[in-house]
Amino acid sequence: MRAWAVVETGQPLQEIELPTPEPKGAEVLLEVTHAGVCHSDLHIWEGEYDLGSRGKMRLTDRGVKLPLAMGHEIVGRVVKLGPEAEGQGSKVGDIRVVYPWVGCGKCAICQRDEENMCPSGRSLGVYQNGGYATHVLATHVKHLIDIEGLDPSLAATYACSGVTVYSAVNKLMPLEPDEPVVLVGAGGLGLNAIAILKAIGHRRICVVDVAEDKLAAAKQQGATDTVLASDEGTAQRIVEACGGPVAGVVDLVNGTQTARFAFEALRKGGKLVQVGLFGGEMTLPLPLMPIRALTVQGSYVGNVKELRALVDIAKQGKIPAIPIENQPQRNADAVLQRLRAGKITGRVVLVAG
Ligand SMILES: [Zn+2]
Ligand SMILES: [Zn+2]
């Protein structure tokens, strides 16, 4: 198969030939038709996360091997089923979104279909080849989800940005529909989060970003309030926009500065859900945690059950589309550079051919 792969961290992606995998057991081989380019691909490509005063966490030390075809927002056409995958809902020719956050497949967590929490993660596009290639191997037929009636470019984004925000937003629920939910970051994740909140009936959505044009896109998508983030006074402006301290914030950036203002904007009993991988660190005033009964919770992608639920909501026509731009697969590197420069609103999806 052809792949547009990371051969060296931080260096341009290279078009290379890799062996086409042969599906064994319940595995399924698909021809990639669509692959979203996600912000987290930048971290994988750069090969490290910033852990603040603890330094950097290198992905190669965590088992990421090069060359690697990144890409974890994958839609493909089934071309070959492993012997145990027959008769389990997918056949040759079917178009499917592929659940990428797979684990060992054997432990109790994986058996419960909560593989994103497996201690031995083998995610597609991170620990094994993903969608920046002509073919991809799904590790189990149960990870394929029918997307009939949906735009495949949009459906691809549900596998990461969609399920990530769906799972994060669920961690704030239940809330009254008019209780403000604050979203920090109006990139692809933020726009998806607005769409999903509206789809589940939430009415008050406040979006925070450093860029006016991104806030305009958020308004377009249905944000009721927007706040321009800056060095000073952001928490106060959030509180003013929301009519008081807030019950829930989803921080889709999750850097030192955003974590600080997100935390400061919480009301008693409030919850900050941290999703982004921007990096840095946060200092918590410990007595405030019990006194104000606060929660700071991390949220990592979502499980296959959540992805199925999200695809169902989308099939009911409840999720408005986010802005999507299709680009040929061979432009993978150029797209990554644009994303790095912050020049993409919504999502770019690589398409085959
Ligand atoms: Zn992603
Ligand atoms: Zn496992």
pLDDT per position as a tens digit, 195-234: 999 999 999 999 999 999 999 999 999 999 999 999 999 9
Alpha helices (H) in the chain, listed in sequence order: 39-46, 108-111, 152-157, 163-170, 188-199, 212-221, 234-242, 256-264, 288-291, 304-315, 332-340
Average pLDDT, the chain: 95
Q: What is the pLDDT of residue 62?
A: 80
CA of 115 to the centre of ligand 2 (A): 6
Higher pLDDT, 56 or 273: 273
Q: What does the pLDDT average to over 255-281?
A: 96
- Among 309, 162, 167, 324, residue whose Cα is nearest residue 250: 167
Q: What is the pLDDT of residue 138?
A: 98
- Looking at the structure, do residues 181 and 100 belong to the same domain, yes or no? no
CA dist list (Å): 180 to 1, 175, 197, 236? 48, 9, 11, 15
Q: Which of 279, 298, 317 is the last residue of a domain?
A: 298
- Looking at the structure, do residues 131 and 32 belong to the same domain, yes or no? yes
Burial class (CB in 10 A: 0-12, 13-18, 19+), 85: buried
Going by pLDDT thresholds of 50, 70 and 90, the confidence category of residue 128 is very high
- Looking at the structure, do residues 152 and 89 belong to the same domain, yes or no? yes
Confidence (pTM): 0.89
Q: What is the pLDDT of residue 53?
A: 84
CA of 8 to the centre of ligand 2 (A): 29
Ligand nearest to the CA of 118: 2
CA of 268 to the centre of ligand 1 (A): 32
Q: What is the pLDDT of residue 56?
A: 84
- Looking at the structure, do residues 189 and 228 belong to the same domain, yes or no? yes
Going by pLDDT thresholds of 50, 70 and 90, the confidence category of residue 324 is very high
**pLDDT tens digit string along 149-178?**
999 999 999 999 899 999 999 999 999 999
Q: What is the CATH number of the domain that holds 282?
A: 3.40.50.720
CA of 130 to the centre of ligand 2 (A): 19
CA of 143 to the centre of ligand 2 (A): 14
- Length of the chain counted residue by residue: 353
Strands 73-81 and 95-98: antiparallel
**What residues are neighbours of ligand 2 (ion), with CB under 5 Å?**
103-104, 107, 110, 118
Whether residue 72 lies inside any domain: the answer is yes
CA of 27 to the centre of ligand 2 (A): 16
- Looking at the structure, do residues 23 and 92 belong to the same domain, yes or no? yes
Ligand nearest to the CA of 161: 1
- Looking at the structure, do residues 209 and 267 belong to the same domain, yes or no? yes
CA of 161 to the centre of ligand 1 (A): 6
Going by pLDDT thresholds of 50, 70 and 90, the confidence category of residue 248 is very high
Q: What is the CATH number of the domain that holds 83?
A: 3.90.180.10
- Looking at the structure, do residues 135 and 179 belong to the same domain, yes or no? no
pLDDT at 14 over 90: yes
Going by pLDDT thresholds of 50, 70 and 90, the confidence category of residue 57 is confident
Burial class (CB in 10 A: 0-12, 13-18, 19+), 120: middle
Going by pLDDT thresholds of 50, 70 and 90, the confidence category of residue 97 is very high
CA of 38 to the centre of ligand 1 (A): 4
pLDDT at 189 over 90: no
Helix (H) or strand (E) holding 33: strand 28-37
Ligand nearest to the CA of 165: 1
Strands 266-274 and 246-251: parallel
CA of 252 to the centre of ligand 1 (A): 12
CA of 206 to the centre of ligand 1 (A): 23
Q: Which of 283, 298, 313 is the last residue of a domain?
A: 298
CA of 230 to the centre of ligand 1 (A): 26
Q: How many domains does the chain have?
A: 2
- Looking at the structure, do residues 291 and 310 belong to the same domain, yes or no? no
- Looking at the structure, do residues 39 and 51 belong to the same domain, yes or no? yes
Three-state DSSP state, 255: strand
Percent of the chain at pLDDT exceeding 70: 100
pLDDT at 55 over 90: no
Instruction: Show the domain range for 245.
Output: 172-298
- Looking at the structure, do residues 181 and 136 belong to the same domain, yes or no? no
Whether residue 178 lies inside any domain: the answer is yes
Three-state DSSP state, 213: helix
**What residues are neighbours of ligand 1 (ion), with CB under 5 Å?**
38, 40, 160
Q: What is the pLDDT of residue 113?
A: 97
What is the token pair recorded at 286?
A: 């410990």
Higher pLDDT, 266 or 65: 266
pLDDT at 49 over 80: no
- Among 21, 39, 71, residue whose Cα is nearest residue 165: 39
- Looking at the structure, do residues 131 and 200 belong to the same domain, yes or no? no
- Looking at the structure, do residues 261 and 306 belong to the same domain, yes or no? no
Going by pLDDT thresholds of 50, 70 and 90, the confidence category of residue 258 is very high
Whether residue 165 lies inside any domain: the answer is no
Percent of the chain at pLDDT exceeding 90: 86
CA of 302 to the centre of ligand 2 (A): 14
Q: How far apart are CA 157 and CA 71, in angstroms?
A: 11
